[in-house]
Amino acid sequence: MSAEFDGLVAVVTGGASGIGAAIAAELGARGAQVAVLDRDVTGAADGVFGVVADVTDDASVRAAIEAVVEHFGRLDIVVNNAGIGAQGTVEDNPDAEWQRVWDVNVLGMVRVARAALPALRRSPAAAIVNTCSVAANVGLPQRALYSATKGAVLGLTRAMAADHLREGIRVNCVNPGTADTPWVGRLLSAAADPVAERAALEARQPHGRLVSAAEVADAVAYLASPRSRSTTGTSITVDGGLESLRLRPA
Ligand code: NAD
């Protein structure tokens, strides 16, 4: 029996850890040939084509996408997932920090898309999926810089969907809530009592637990697949109800 992504090639940025690693695994399990573009590919799964590149470096992004296309002969799916966090109000982060995080979270996606578009135009099943966040849609305290970057990702997703609709390239994003990844693990381990902090974080989620990276990956796989061929310029939120519901945990 043929798998959903048989014959298709996907590149996943930030695919060596957390949500990106789950996306790489999910697309691979569904038959895609997967390349992981990451500044550190040591955590990438066996069987993926790992390419070291930093999304803040245009030349390295171009070289990485060229290497993927040369290796597999095509490129069909781009998952723009690499991203970094930032905490604080607008008074807490100097301009240089705004520029550093923006360079990864927003311009990084622009660079990867720009490098990949020529190959995507040759694909009969082209899709870009950007990892955005609920932070694009709700006001989270102490997340001014991070939320601004994810708001930009949402706008970028919609505008690119309009620009490339007639070329047959769909562009969507996924909005995870708090997901159980090494990133969140790092934040928790910095707390005075990591176990209590995790319990408190879980209790703040409407469904009482963190979102799993695999759940996010499943939504990305749908948006990357021709099953969602009528869906572009929009997002799927995977957050246990955090964004839409006004429930307090029981
Ligand atoms: P993670 O830290 O576990 O993984 C991020 C990966 O991106 C790492 O492999 C890292 O090496 C790579 N990366 C970072 N900067 C890079 C750069 N400049 N060039 C190339 N690769 C780079 O993080 P995660 O939790 O899996 O987050 C992945 C994405 O999901 C991010 O875009 C993040 O904003 C988004 N997100 C995460 C959560 C969450 O709660 N974990 C929630 C919403 C959105």
218 Ramachandran zone, left/alpha/beta (phi>0; psi -120 to 50) = alpha
| pLDDT tens profile 44-60 | 999 999 999 999 999 99
Give the per-residue pLDDT at 2: 78
Distance from the alpha carbon of residue 188 to the mean position of ligand 1, in angstroms: 16
Tell me, yes or no, if 222 is annotated catalytic: no
Of 198, 195, 220, nearest in space to 209 by CA: 198
Residue 247 pLDDT grade (very low, low, confident, very high; cuts 50, 70, 90): confident
Mean pLDDT of 113-130: 98
pLDDT tens digits, 132-167:
999 999 999 999 999 999 999 999 999 999 999 999
- Ligand 1 geometric centre to CA of 77 (Å): 18
> Mean of the per-residue pLDDT values for the chain?
96
Query: Which residue in the list 146, 149, 170, 219 is annotated as catalytic?
Result: 146
Q: What is the pLDDT of residues 59-101, one digit of tens each?
A: 999 999 999 999 999 999 999 999 999 999 999 999 999 999 9
Q: Mean pLDDT lowest for which of 156-160, 197-201, 233-237, 246-250? A: 246-250
Cβ 22 under 6 angstroms from ligand 1:
no
The rounded distance, in Å, linking the Cα atoms of 115 and 132 is 20
Local confidence band at 41 (pLDDT 50, 70, 90 cut-offs): very high
The tens digit of pLDDT for each residue in 62-71 reads 999 999 999 9
Report whether residue 84 contacts ligand 1, using a CB cutoff of 6 Å: yes
Model confidence at 250, pLDDT cuts 50, 70, 90, reads low
Q: Which atom of ligand 1 is nearest to the CA of 104?
A: 18
Instruction: Encode pLDDT of 206-242 as tens digits.
Output: 999 999 999 999 999 999 999 999 999 999 999 999 9
Q: Is 100 in the pocket of ligand 1 (CB under 6 A)?
A: no
Residue nearest to atom 6 of ligand 1 (CA): 14
Span from the CA of 185 to the centroid of ligand 1 (angstroms)? 12
Span from the CA of 250 to the centroid of ligand 1 (angstroms)? 31
- Name which residue sits closest to atom 31 of ligand 1, judged by CA: 83
**pLDDT at position 84, please?**
98
